[in-house]
Structure 1
Amino acid sequence: MGVEGGMKCVKFLLFFFNFIFWICGLALIVVGILVQLALHKTFMIRDATASGAPIVLIGIGVVIFFIAFFGCCGAWKENYCMVTTFAILISLVIIVEIAAAIAGYIFRNKISTVVQDSLTEMITKYNNSSAEFRDAVDKLQEDLKCCGANSSTDWKHFKPDGTSVPDSCCKNVTANCGAKTMTDSAKVYQKGCHDALEALLKKNIQWVIVAALVIAFLQIMGIVFSCMLMRGIRSGYEVM
């Protein structure tokens, strides 16, 4: 009876962990989509390597979402084949996550260059872009309280006079407040957006890493419980 009760406990723990996996998979899909939108719409980062991390997050989320459902069915029905397949698939997902973590670490070291290139492109295209693009640039500068990539002088080609900046660079945004005020520290932010945007992205990456570690721990526990349940089923113990 002790083994029977123990296996029943393992069965429900595995079912519970799979339910958590299912939620985590859904969360990863949502986070991946939000990160992708933030990088390419809010932050306007066009570098293809920046898309790698969110796409991997979405992909892993979709896989975990379906694997967790598969694992729940296997645990509930006490099907040895389904539980074994679940353990193998989760192990493969962990390997992919390790690869993604390495790729994320490499990208983390490239953030400074990617941000610099993206901000420079943003400034260059500002005048000839859509209203939506300009609004996004303005919102970025207003939210981060910055101006240009490295300093306000990055906007020297914004107007023919060479001394004007977009109104979003102003400390108090009003119509035409950026006209001929490029170096006026009382009216315009002199610090560029590079450092602030890089710090924000690195902070977000750190939160993603923390979330990944939590999910990885849950996955390892899921594999442990799967192996225990597989052993119990294979040994012919009655777990119902």
Structure 2
Amino acid sequence: MAKYQGIRNEKQRYCCSKECIKAVLIFFNLLVALCGLAVCILGVWLLLSRRNYISVLTGEMFFLSHFLLTACGGLIFAFAVLGFVGIFLNRIRLLSVYTGFLVALLIVECAVCAIGFVFAGSLQTRLQESVKESLLNRYRIDPDVTRAVDRLHSELKCCGSVSWRDWRESAYYWNNSRATTTEESHPSNIFHQGCAVRMAQQLYLNLLAVALCALGMAIVLLLSIVLACSLIHTLRELRLATK
């Protein structure tokens, strides 16, 4: 009788522990799901808002990074749903897969942030080279580049790569007497700030926002990993106590 009472008390202790851990883990997993959804929405917004000139003027790298951001957000949300299933059904295998994904995501997130900040210093230089090459050699020759450059100048209120003087080196400038006359006679009618500078400013702000979100998400992931491991351990102990 005493042995049965001891087993029953042990089961009650593990059950109470399990329910407490599950409640907190559900909350943090909800945060993970919301983070994934937010990352997905951010990626879609960046793709739609910049697809007219980012991929044309800077190559596919920035466009691909926005696409990967969207895909990662969707993957995070999908695994968060898997986490909810494992939590509510008390499935140790699902919780193990979910925990492994969170660990991998945390490692990848730290690596991507480190790489991003390493290359952030050369961001403006690369943008200047890419935009200037488009202005000098492809404007009025490639229709896609022409539309992208015009849209870039209009939306960001900028001119040239580093400044409006970049146009003086372009084939379009020397082949278009009207453009030559306008820039030399009326420089006040054009924007003076370079487009690469404006683009770099926007991307720096995006990097800062992503870094802050990544920091918050890393904390949520770390706590979720600890809670998921605790729940797995508690479920295993409860099964042993039941046997």
Identity %: 25
Shift in alpha-carbon separation, 1:88–1:127, aligned structure 2, 3 A: same
Structure 1 CA distance for aligned equivalents of residues 28 and 190 of structure 2: 53
Deviations 1:94-138 (A, max 9, x none): 1111221122223312312221122113313221232x6434322
Name the residue aligned to 2:7.
none
C-alpha contact 2:29 2:80 (8 A) present in aligned 1: yes
C-alpha contact 1:17 1:218 (8 A) present in aligned 2: yes
TM-score (norm 1): 0.80
Q: How does 1:3-18 map to 2 (within 5 A)?
A: 4-18=15-29
- 1 or 2, which has the higher helix percentage? 2
Name the residue aligned to 1:34.
45
Name the residue aligned to 2:6.
none
Which structure has more relative contact order (CA 8 Å, sep 6+)? It is: 2
Shift in alpha-carbon separation, 1:101–1:162, aligned structure 2, 3 A: farther
C-alpha contact 1:45 1:114 (8 A) present in aligned 2: no
Name the residue aligned to 2:30.
19
Shift in alpha-carbon separation, 1:224–1:183, aligned structure 2, 3 A: farther
Report the secondary structure of 1:87's partner residue: helix
Deviations 1:71-90 (A, max 9, x none): 10011111222212211121
Report the secondary structure of 1:24's partner residue: helix
Which of 208, 231, 234 is 2:233 aligned to?
Answer: 231
Report the secondary structure of 1:33's partner residue: helix
Which of 219, 222, 225 is 2:224 aligned to?
Answer: 222
C-alpha contact 1:47 1:114 (8 A) present in aligned 2: no
Deviations 1:158-198 (A, max 9, x none): 24256727xxxxxxxxxxxxx52346332222332222221
Answer yes or no: is 1:73 the counterpart of 2:75. no
Shift in alpha-carbon separation, 1:6–1:70, aligned structure 2, 3 A: same
Q: Indicate the RMSD between aligned Cα atoms, in angstroms.
A: 2.7
Answer yes or no: is 1:140 the counterpart of 2:125. no
Uncovered stretches (5+) of structure 2, i.e. residues with no partner = 1-11
Shift in alpha-carbon separation, 1:216–1:25, aligned structure 2, 3 A: same
Answer yes or no: is 1:158 the counterpart of 2:169. no
Name the residue aligned to 1:119.
131
Shift in alpha-carbon separation, 1:11–1:182, aligned structure 2, 3 A: farther
User: Per-residue deviation at 1:139?
Assistant: 2.8
What is the letter of the counterpart of residue 186 of structure 1? S
What is the letter of the counterpart of residue 230 of structure 1? I
Which of 179, 187, 192 is 2:189 aligned to?
Answer: 187
Deviations 1:3-59 (A, max 9, x none): 643431221221232233223222222322333455553334433443564344234
TM-score (norm 2): 0.79
Runs of 4+ in structure 1 over 4 Å off? 36-40
